[in-house]
């Protein structure tokens, strides 16, 4: 298993997330296949020192809906950082960039985010 270590210090979460998503999908490899998960592990260090925009902390909203009437849930990026930490912002960004299929959960298991 190949390990990729990415330093998040001073970098924007979206830029880091695209780099991580490409590695987790295996698009940087010569033996890329959409139906296979590559044997890689991505470790992100210094996630607490990411460059988070104050405007996005205020205005970016994470939305979820269960399908039942009145069940729309919204929380700002600032609230997510306060409750779960900045590594949750990065995890959600990577999760959204991976393909929406059965392999996404397995790919996310290959991602380790450290403070």
Is residue 61 one of the residues assigned to a domain? no
Domain extent for 26: 2-52+86-113
Reduced to 3 states, what is the DSSP secondary structure of residue 66?
A: coil
Mean pLDDT of 77-92: 97
**The total number of structural domains that make up the chain:** 1
Is residue 33 one of the residues assigned to a domain? yes
Is residue 73 one of the residues assigned to a domain? no
Q: How confident is the model at residue 77 (pLDDT cuts 50, 70, 90)?
A: very high
Is residue 77 one of the residues assigned to a domain? no
Is residue 92 one of the residues assigned to a domain? yes
- Closest to 49 (Cα-Cα) out of 22, 4, 81: 81
Quote the pLDDT of residue 34: 95
Mean pLDDT of 54-71: 97
How far is it, in rounded angstroms, from Cα 6 to Cα 10?
12
Is residue 6 one of the residues assigned to a domain? yes
- Closest to 90 (Cα-Cα) out of 64, 112, 61: 112
Quote the pLDDT of residue 45: 97
Is residue 71 one of the residues assigned to a domain? no
Quote the pLDDT of residue 40: 97
Mapping DSSP onto H, E and C, the string for 16-58 reads: HHHHHHHHHHCCCCCCCCCCCCCCEEEEEECHHHCCCCHHHHH
Dump pLDDT digits (tens) for 39-61: 999 999 999 999 999 999 999 99
Query: CATH number of the domain that 13 lies in?
Result: 3.90.1180.10
Is residue 43 one of the residues assigned to a domain? yes
């Amino acid at each position: 298993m190949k390990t990729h270590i990415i330093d998040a210090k001073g970098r924007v979460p979206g830029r880091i997330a695209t780099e991580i998503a490409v590695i987790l999908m295996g698009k940087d490899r010569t033996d890329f296949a959409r139906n296979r998960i590559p044997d890689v592990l991505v470790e992100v260090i210094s996630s607490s020192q990411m460059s988070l925009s104050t405007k996005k902390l205020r205005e970016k909203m994470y939305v979820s809906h269960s399908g039942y009437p009145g069940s729309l849930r919204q929380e700002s990026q600032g609230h997510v950082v306060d409750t779960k930490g900045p590594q949750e912002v990065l995890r959600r960004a990577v999760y959204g960039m991976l393909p929406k299929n059965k392999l996404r959960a397995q790919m996310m298991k290959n991602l380790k985010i450290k403070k």
